[in-house]
Amino acid sequence: MSYAPQIRVPATYMRGGTSKGMFFRLDDLPEKARNPGPERDRLLLRVIGSPDPYQKHTDGMGGATSSTSKTVILSKSTQENHDVDYLFGQVAIDKPVIDWSGNCGNLTAAVGAFAINSGYVPQDRIPENGTAVVRIWQANIRKTIIANVPITNGEVQETGDFELDGVTFPAAEVQVEFMDPADAEGSMFPTGNLVDELDVPGIGTLQATMINAGIPTVFINAEAVGYSGTELQDAINSDPEALAMFETIRAHGAVKMGLIETIDDAVARQHTPKVAFVAPPAGYTASSGKEIAASDIDVLVRALSMGKLHHAMMGTAAVAIAIAAAIPGTLVNLAAGGGDRTSVTFGHPSGTLQVGAEAKEVQGQWVATKAVMSRSARILMEGWVRVPDVTQV
């Protein structure tokens, strides 16, 4: 039997929005894990407890869902006029894979607080009472994000009265601004179209809006695949055929968006793109038992992450929803009733979420300038995570 001594690595376990994950300072990682590569991936996989064929994460810090199997590495920013560099890794549950291709919008809300507590933000920019503006460089997608973190008595305020559907307890509100959220490379609509016909073998030809904003996302109409848009998690996640269908749609969308070359490449790129289905407003009962009336929302959206229907909504997907809703003619915009809008309130399995967005047409191309949403964040535990020293393998 091989022997690997346990090491302890300084870490903070944080909730951000409707997600939670392990936060690390880059300089606190073992030396071999401070650079991208297999040593870093092995360490973080072992921290989370993946790959786990039982899909429970019993021997790790993961929560056995896409929302709770996340890692974050922060460091002093290498970019001018930024405070911190933020690198996000989405950890697969039953595969030895960490996907570094996208951002986590929910955990972004926790990045600001972690940056302040870690000394990445100059003390003279932290008020005694008020709001600290944290300038984040999102290293995965090379974008600027602004986190407005509430400060009370010189410290990050975590508790408060702000309620977020999908989170059990109220907390302090953190407003997050995603600047220029469209993909830096190429068009926001990589096919050049607001709506495409997506040919999916065994399923048919589907209308799809494929957008690179917040996170690459493939939107389809709920009714086209036999759903109403009011479904909760179990309706999708307990149906292997449904999950396989959505993964097939996602893979073919990824090829059409130019994110991968072949369908087989989708296995190694599970975090992006997302696949989501939309429908006009309708009333439903959220997972908490809360009644959502059709009049409470502009549009219904259900999104899958890492192969499962998300219990609420990924923050980056919320950005994609907001930007797509702001552009007349997309499937999201049409499901919301069409026309111009600067914000959208959408229904998800846990309740509702309002997101603001700014988009404009420049020389025939749509450009997203900003998306804004409110989240909350809280430290759950801090100290050291113990893990076998897999960097020596």
Give me the active site residues, please: 104, 314
Two tokens, residue 372: 């804004």
Convert 59-81 into a string of H (helix), E (strand) and C (coil).
Answer: CCCCCCCCCCCEEEEEEECCCCC
Of 103, 122, 93, 109, which is closest to residue 160 (Cα–Cα)?
109
Examine residue 51 and say whether the peptide bond preceding it is cis (omega within 30 degrees of 0).
yes
List, as one string, the DSSP characters of 266-303: GGG--SSSEEEEEE----EE-TTS-EE-GGG-SEEEEE
Amino acid identity, position 257? M
Closest CA to 295 of 345, 231, 349, 355: 345
Lookup result for tokens 């409110």? 374
Concatenating the DSSP letter of every residue in 114-141 gives HHHHTT-S-GGGS-SSEEEEEEEEETTT
- How close are the terminal C-alpha atoms of the chain, in Å? 13
